[in-house]
Amino acid sequence: MSKHHFQTEVTQLLDLMIHSLYSNKEIFLRELISNSSDALDKLNYLTLTDDAYKKLSYTPKISIELDEKNKILTISDTGIGMNEEDLVENLGTIAKSGTKSFLQNLSGDNKKDSSLIGQFGVGFYSAFMVANKIEVLSKKAGEENAFLWTSEANGEYEITPSTKEAHGTSIKLYIKDEEEEFLRFYRVEEIIKKYSNHIPFPIFMDKEEKEWDDEGKEKSSSVKNVQINKASALWTLPKGQIKEDEYKDFYKQISHDSTDPILWSHTKAEGTMEYTTLFYIPSKPPFDLFRMDYKPGVKLYVKRVFITDDEKELLPTYLRFVRGIIDAQDLPLNVSREILQQNRILETIKKASVKKILNELKQLKEKDSEKYLEFYKNFGRVIKEGLYSDWDNKEALLDLVLFKSSKRDGLVSLKEYKEAMEKEQKSIYYITGENEAILRNSPLIEHFKAKNIEVLLLDEDVDTIVMPMVNEYDKTPIKPVNNSDIDEEIVEDKNKKEEDQKTYQEILVKMKEILKDEAKDVKISNRLSDSPSVLIYDKNDPDFQMQQMLKQMGQDNLPKVKPILEINPNHEIFKKLIEKNDLSYLQDISFLMMDQAKLQEGMKIDDISAFAKRLNKFIAKSL
């Protein structure tokens, strides 16, 4: 016998299971059955692909035994089984940072928290919600020795050499007095049909059947071992035979999510290539949506044989929230991960699947805008990633993205924007930044507001990377308002611009010399109505937001990018400079215009002390 201590996070988790998560306890059975199904999947795959297992004779099944007298529930499978090393790895520790993430994501809502259990890969421990002691007897297929794992959730567990006739795992739960409902046949049957009806392996239980005479008295009684679940691969059934509730229940089974999906798409392709897909769009984002080590949501089968649920290449990264099944008929059963990543058949399925999913989302957007908005609030940021990475589907993705607007509340699509464009408007305009309030009041959009031109407000970090990749929508150019490339589009009176250029030529030259270390150029602005100055960028230079993003991505050695300072020729400050013909204050004014424009852009001022002195000098002078 050997004693082991649980990993620290597991101890925390067990304490949580026992003392905090009281609601929805029935999910423990879903999790244990799911684990048994995984063990059968693994062995089933090996018997078909590995010579060492091909001669192994076994009947894949899951069995549940109820002992009401001794308050014991036992769930057994004939799957791959575990040796001592596997028991330590699988039941004593948790891979990656699943437990920490689980604990960090707790909301205090028992129902919501308990629904996270399966998603975080900590489902086995949910059994301690209903049991005060658990014994796991397991024998790994192909090995001689069996081992017994025992714990009372007291911070430690024991592993003892034992005996077991056949390979597989048997989990014995010593049910708490207050949880006796889980020892009753009809309660357990209800849970199995609710969560595990379409587990692809049969689940058996002993059922007592009685016969009654004409007077209603019991005539005889017998116990039969009966199959509880349908054990049918739902995705292989004709769509017309599947009820809506069955689709929803199957989603909850494969996703470990307690909420209904927003939509699903079931496709059976026949002809030169045969495959079946069943994809679901969740109503809530997975906990690891923005983690590098996210768990893919799509399982790959070949002719109903489970191959993998850990392959991130089955769908593009930006669709990582999708849950579902791909069952290919034309792949070899022993397909390796290396082959998967460059397989022509799988690539064809992937391309068709992406188009199908995006089309389903487009239909949702057109038919149920409220539900689509719910989807977009959860997954819109991820969908935008596709604009950067999936060039083939760029147009479809552009039809799905939504943006905040300078002219209206809520979110607007590019199609809606284009339909509302002003008659003389040449492009779709946008502004990027971190703060919506700053963007709404930016000097950069003063001209557009004055001319009733809508500007899209992009305040998500992904926008800075994605939007420069999007040059047009439906043959209409898409341009940032802080780019020098749009100067000609917003000039209304070329004669006035030339006059202003002549009037302020001396000031512009001197300001450019004063600010030579700060600004690439100083120009007359066509985009300002109220503000005296604003920063823009040469069309070939990254703007401030892009520079910040590149730094966050580790590119700290970027060369300094100088912005262009534009001044407003109609502002009182510059009009008085011309009227008085006194440029003695121009140095201070130049730096104040530069610093003020930086602040409005959300940038930091390099020399705050100098800024304050200059500002105080002008305040004192005005008094």
What number of other Cβ atoms are within 10 A of residue 579's Cβ? 9
At residue 199, the pLDDT reads: 86
In a domain, 134, yes or no: yes
Q: Which domain-ending residue is among 337, 367, 397?
A: 367
In a domain, 217, yes or no: no
At residue 522, the pLDDT reads: 94
In a domain, 402, yes or no: no
- Residue 177's domain is classified under what CATH number? 3.30.565.10
**Tokens 């068709």 map to which residue?**
352
- Domain span at residue 89? 2-208
Q: What is the CA radius of gyration of the chain?
A: 33
* Residue pair 149/173 in contact by the 8 Å Cβ criterion: no
* Residue pair 480/487 in contact by the 8 Å Cβ criterion: no
State how beta strands 521-524 and 533-536 pair: unpaired
Cα 156 → chain centroid:
35
In a domain, 539, yes or no: yes
DSSP 4: E
At residue 196, the pLDDT reads: 87
Residue 191 sits in the same domain as residue 252? no
At residue 234, the pLDDT reads: 92
* Residue pair 194/212 in contact by the 8 Å Cβ criterion: no
At residue 100, the pLDDT reads: 52
Residue 268 sits in the same domain as residue 329? yes
In a domain, 576, yes or no: yes
Residue 247 sits in the same domain as residue 184? no
- Residue 307's domain is classified under what CATH number? 3.30.230.80
Q: Which domain-ending residue is among 367, 384, 419?
A: 367
Residue 194 sits in the same domain as residue 255? no
Mark residue 85 as left, alpha or beta (left: phi above 0; alpha: psi -120 to 50; beta: remaining). Answer: alpha
* Residue pair 333/253 in contact by the 8 Å Cβ criterion: no
CA dist 135 and 145 (Å) reads 17
Residue 166 sits in the same domain as residue 254? no
Cβ neighbors of 103 (< 8 A, separation 6 or more) are 9, 12, 13, 16
| Sign (positive or negative) of CA dihedral 310, 314, 318, 320 | negative
Cβ neighbors of 311 (< 8 A, separation 6 or more) are 296, 298, 300, 337, 340
At residue 57, the pLDDT reads: 86
In a domain, 505, yes or no: yes
In a domain, 409, yes or no: no
At residue 493, the pLDDT reads: 66
CA dist 266 and 373 (Å) reads 23
Q: Which domain-ending residue is among 316, 336, 367?
A: 367
DSSP string, 388-441: HH-GGGHHHHHTT-EEEESSSSSEEEHHHHHHT--TT--SEEEEE-S-HHHHHT
- Residue 591's domain is classified under what CATH number? 1.20.120.790
Residue 193 sits in the same domain as residue 86? yes
Tell me the residue type at 565. L
Q: Which residues of the chain have pLDDT under 50?
A: 95-99, 102, 107, 110-120
Residue 183 sits in the same domain as residue 257? no
* Residue pair 492/538 in contact by the 8 Å Cβ criterion: no
Residue 6 sits in the same domain as residue 131? yes
Our count of domains for the chain comes to 3
Residue 320 sits in the same domain as residue 199? no
First to last CA, the chain: 88
Residue by residue, what is the 3-state secondary structure of 197-261? CCCCCCEEEEEEEEEECCCCCEEEEEEEEEECCCCCCHHHCCHHHCCHHHHHHHHHHHHCCCCCC
* Residue pair 535/609 in contact by the 8 Å Cβ criterion: no
Among residues 254, 256, 287, the alpha carbon closest in space to that of 98 is found at: 287
At residue 94, the pLDDT reads: 59
Residues in the chain, overall count: 623
In a domain, 121, yes or no: yes
Count Cβ atoms within 10 A of the Cβ of residue 329 and give its class: 0-12 exposed, 13-18 middle, 19 or more buried. middle
Residue 283 sits in the same domain as residue 173? no
CA dist 388 and 485 (Å) reads 22
Residue 35 sits in the same domain as residue 109? yes
Residue 351 sits in the same domain as residue 283? yes
Count Cβ atoms within 10 A of the Cβ of residue 17 and give its class: 0-12 exposed, 13-18 middle, 19 or more buried. buried
What number of other Cβ atoms are within 10 A of residue 601's Cβ? 20
Strand partners of residue 402: 413
CA dist 417 and 456 (Å) reads 9
* Residue pair 511/551 in contact by the 8 Å Cβ criterion: no
